[in-house]
Copies of this chain bind each other. A is one copy, B any other.
């Protein structure tokens, strides 16, 4: 079980790659476990779909600008460092939605909520499935 830690709400600067920026933020703040929500707009996002048989993600490259209709993620340790696992729903200019594992995306706007969780060490370990999972 966990208890509430620090709470953040902020905007990621334009032009940053979302995942890299968040990892730098988590390292700097020393946040090892938590949850993340975000909304905003991303450019040229790449999303992943897990190919169970091949034990890897298929990469889906979306070109152009997409609304982040939803971004939900969790923070835990991987290889001893804070790791953000985020899934995303993206809307195009017709409102059509795409969704999957967020691999990367360049920020036009990203408004992020982070809730740190304290109390347990939560760590991903590589499994036979090809996914780094919690116990």
Contacts and interface: CB of A to CB of B under 8 A. Distances in A.
Interface of A: 1-4, 6-11, 33, 35, 37-39, 41, 47-52, 58, 60, 62, 65, 67-74, 76, 85-101, 108-109, 111, 113, 117, 122, 131, 133-135
Given A85-B111, A97-B99, A7 B117 contact: yes
A58 B71 CA distance: 21
A91 to B, nearest CB: 3
4 nearest A-B residue pairs (beta carbon): A69-B99, A91-B99, A97-B97, A97-B99
B7 A93 contact: no
Given A4-B4, A37-B35, A85-B39, A100 B111 contact: no
A47 to B, nearest CB: 6
Given A72-B70, A95-B49, A95-B60, A9 B117 contact: yes
A101 B41 CA distance: 10
A94 B108 CA distance: 24
Nearest to A62: B95
Nearest to A76: B9
